[in-house]
Amino acid sequence: MSFANVKALLNKALADFAESSGAPADMSGHQVSGKPPFGWDTADQLRKAWGKGVQLIQPEVVGKNPKMGQKANLVVDLKTGLNGRPRMPMGGPYLTDAEIQQIIDWIDAGCPD
């Protein structure tokens, strides 16, 4: 799994949401003041990104054994929702379990470029 695949999946989630809802996702509320920018233009940006008050991929879950990618805030948010908020993208459509597993595999591999 490469970052290019992860980026494509996250972009797909936004595109599918926009098509389903008839409007692009409003990402403005995801940014956390004083933290690295929210987004995934590069692997480094995604590794450092914070959104809605939490780091998307906590350093302590990256490339660990036993594999902990499933505990990354990004993954939890895509699977079930985080901190009492709805699953992302809010209202769906959602990434499939197989697509989310690809993101988990990338995190477990150490979030390579």
Q: Kindly give the confidence (pLDDT) of every residue in the chain, 113 residues in length, as a single tens digit, with 9 standing for 90 and above.
A: 899 999 999 999 999 999 999 999 888 878 888 888 889 999 999 999 998 889 999 999 999 888 999 999 999 999 999 989 999 999 999 999 999 999 999 999 999 99
| Confidence (pLDDT) at 37 | 81
Residue 80: inside a domain:
yes
Domain that holds residue 84: 3-22+30-108
Counted domains in the chain: 1
Evaluate whether 6 touches 76 at the Cβ level (below 8 Å): no
Q: How far apart are CA 94 and CA 18, in angstroms?
A: 12
Q: 69 lies in a domain?
A: yes
Side-chain-side CA neighbours of residue 80 (13 Å): 8
Question: Per the domain annotation, does 75 fall within a domain?
Answer: yes
- Of 59, 34, 27, 33, nearest to 46 by C-alpha is 59
The answer to whether residue 52 sits within a structural domain is yes
Q: Does a cis peptide bond (omega within 30 degrees of 0) precede residue 93?
A: yes
Residue 113 included in any domain: no
Return d(Cα 74, Cα 103) in angstroms, integer: 9
* The residue type at 31: Q
Please answer whether residues 76 and 85 qualify as being in contact, where contact means their C-beta atoms are separated by less than 8 angstroms: no
Task: Report if residue 99 sits inside a domain.
Answer: yes
pLDDT value of position 49: 94
Looking at the domain assignment, is residue 87 inside a domain? yes
Whether residue 95 is contained in a domain is answered as yes
